[in-house]
Amino acid sequence: MAQNKDQKQKQQKKQQMYQNMARKYQPTPNVWINCLKAFIVGGLVCVLGQLLQTLYIKGFGVSPNNAGDMTVATLIFLSCLLTGLGVYDKMGQWAGAGTAVPVTGFANSIASAALEHQSEGYVLGVGGNMFKLAGSVIVFGVVAAFFIGVIRTLLTYIIG
């Protein structure tokens, strides 16, 4: 019993020494440069969205409500296309969180999971794995929308 305890303590000391040594050689990320890259790429994605919406409204005469829907659909399509071509992943490695703009980042997560599991078949591979990551986001969004709707309805009846 005492030997087992001593072995565990020795193992913990070895692990601590290894972690200290690894920390010494681990490169430190440049937070300010990473923030700047994320800001620039995320901003460019948003600028592209605004340009698309303006194009749909002024160029094609679409109403602003419908132009918003068309803009989101176009951004989702472009994100999936760039994911399939391998460009989105390279952008993500360079820009980090800047590519996680909600619509494009969500489309990328679904498309990359679908591509990764396509060899397992369309139903169990693509369909079954595509929403593992995105499913929690969808469930959270639906539940949050339900509770916000309930709160709004209650406040409408209480306030008038």
Residue 3 has pLDDT above 70, yes or no: no
**Predicted confidence band at 126 (pLDDT cuts at 50, 70, 90)?**
confident
State pLDDT tens for residues 4-46.
777 888 888 888 888 888 888 888 888 999 999 999 999 999 9
How far is C-alpha 66 from the chain's CA centre? Answer: 25
DSSP category for residue 101: -
Phi–psi pair at 28, nearest 5 degrees: -90, 130
Burial 17-37 (b: 16+ CB within 10 A, else e): eeeeeeeeeeeeeeeeeeeeb
Distance (Å, whole) CA 51 – CA 58: 10
**Helix axis angle, 87-95 to 102-116, nearest 10°:** 130
Q: Specify the residue for token string 């040594």.
A: 21
